[in-house]
Amino acid sequence: MQQNILMSDETLFRDCSIFDGEHTPEQFRFRDTQLSRIAENIRPAFHGARPLNMILRGPPGTGKTTSVKQVFGEIEGTTRKIIPVLVNCRRNQTEYRVFRRIYEAVFHQKPPVSGVCVQSLTETLCGELSARGAVLLICLDDANFIFHDNLLEKVLGTLLRLYEEYPGIRTGIIVTVSNIDIPVAGLLSPSVVSVFQPNEIYFPPYGEGEVRAILRDRVRAGLYPDVVSPEILDSIVTETMRCSDLRMGIALANRSVLRAESAGRRSVSAADVVASVQEAENQHLKSIVRTLREDERNMLGAIGTLYQQTGEEMISGDLYRALQPQVPMCYTLFFERLEKFRNLGLIKTYRPPKRGNTRRIVLQYGSGRVRDVCSAR
């Protein structure tokens, strides 16, 4: 009896960092094809030539960022003639911030504070790249966060044309996106498309067996034996498949263990998993809402409140009118924000037959939860 009770100074985690969102797994399986295609596209840079541009496309949690980190890690350990820079577009949603991030990665320091614009950052950057004779390899990670306001076009336009102003500069660009239904080229002008010419690499969702193997690796590496039984692992796998996002599965495993631990038990119960599903989903929603601007968050929250009263979907024209009292805006802005929500997986839009530009707008999370998360500070 005593054996099943956890002492207050005991833990179920062998290493809790294994469940961190930022953790790079020791075993990165099922992505050999994608990794070798990325490496192939980068290979010219090892000979001083321009690497091929790429788009890594796949639903959330399919290993795009992890693949890039893995390849970038190997480059950093091999050569100084390629400077890889991972730009997290969730955290850097303006042109200036993207270039500041690149500057920081190249110089290992922040740019001088006053009077610095994108142009002067690129000038200094290009001077340094020429002096080092290095190729710049940039990953615009989660680029769907800069689809709005023509930002991706601006950033790519500047990066891809650096060689025109600064001859000899070589850059390669990797764009990762998690929307599988939006063609990136459709967001770009023909002049940018013609220099971008990306190779597309697809990251398919993991199948059930793959999810089980990945989660089992994490459980083995992060927890003491028998904390998660094979049956509990199965139920975590089932929930992961339902959300079709591995990240949710990792968060769910973590939360279920924390729950068992705080109840003083030595193993996770089925009830721990059930109770943690909602928390894990909330966490996921919160991480997206945190990246929205205040006006966007207000609009999304207002949609949550409305849908609570009217049901879980509305037609775009009705939604626009219903939102006006709380969040006045013009029609163009309304559609721009809807587009952004769609890019972030917050809503889905459907075009009813024979209704012109009308869309059905469906929230991807429960309306009450959306309202609560958007109103929480």
Ligand X SMILES: Nc1ncnc2c1ncn2[C@@H]1O[C@H](COP(=O)(O)OP(=O)(O)OP(=O)(O)O)[C@@H](O)[C@H]1O
Query: Which residues make up each annotated binding site for ATP?
Result: 62-66, 206, 218
Residue span binding ligand X (CB under 6 A) among the ranges 29-37, 47-55, 287-295, 351-359? 29-37
* Site for ligand X contains 281 (CB under 6 A): no
Distance CA 320, CA 327 (A): 9
Question: At residue 370, what is the residue type?
Answer: V
Distance CA 256, CA 229 (A): 12
Q: Which is closer to ligand X, CB of 33 or CB of 197?
A: 33
* Site for ligand X contains 366 (CB under 6 A): no
Q: Which of ligand X, Mg ion, none does residue 171 bind (CB under 5 to 8 Å by kind)? A: none
Distance CA 76, CA 85 (A): 10
Distance CA 63, CA 38 (A): 13
**Angle, nearest 10°, between helix axes 208-222 and 246-262?**
40
* Site for ligand X contains 367 (CB under 6 A): no
Distance of CA 103 to the CA centre of its chain: 22
Supply the minimum distance, in Å, between the C-beta of residue 325 and ligand X.
35
* Site for ligand X contains 343 (CB under 6 A): no
DSSP element (H, E) containing 362: strand 360-363
3-class secondary structure, 373: helix
Other C-beta atoms lying within 10 Å of the C-beta of residue 105: 16
Other C-beta atoms lying within 10 Å of the C-beta of residue 200: 14
Cβ pair 100, 121 in contact under 8 A? yes
Query: Total number of residues binding Mg ion (CB under 5 A)?
Result: 2
Contact pick of 34, 41, 53, 65 for Mg ion (by CB under 5 A): 65
Q: Which of ligand X, Mg ion, none does residue 25 bind (CB under 5 to 8 Å by kind)? A: ligand X
Q: Rule CB under 6 A: which of 133-162 touch ligand X?
A: 142
* Site for ligand X contains 25 (CB under 6 A): yes
* Site for ligand X contains 34 (CB under 6 A): no
* Site for ligand X contains 29 (CB under 6 A): yes
Q: Which is closer to ligand X, CB of 203 or CB of 307?
A: 203
Contact pick of 6, 13, 14, 30 for ligand X (by CB under 6 A): 30
Distance CA 79, CA 46 (A): 8
Q: Rule CB under 6 A: which of 201-240 touch ligand X?
A: 203, 214
Q: Rule CB under 6 A: which of 64-93 touch ligand X?
A: 64-66
Residue 49 has which token pair? 């030539």
Q: Rule CB under 6 A: which of 249-278 touch ligand X?
A: 250
Strand 360-363 vs strand 313-315: parallel, antiparallel, or unpaired? antiparallel
Binding site for ligand X (CB under 6 A): 21, 23, 25, 28-31, 58, 60-66, 142, 178, 203, 214, 246-247, 250
Binding site for Mg ion (CB under 5 A): 64-65
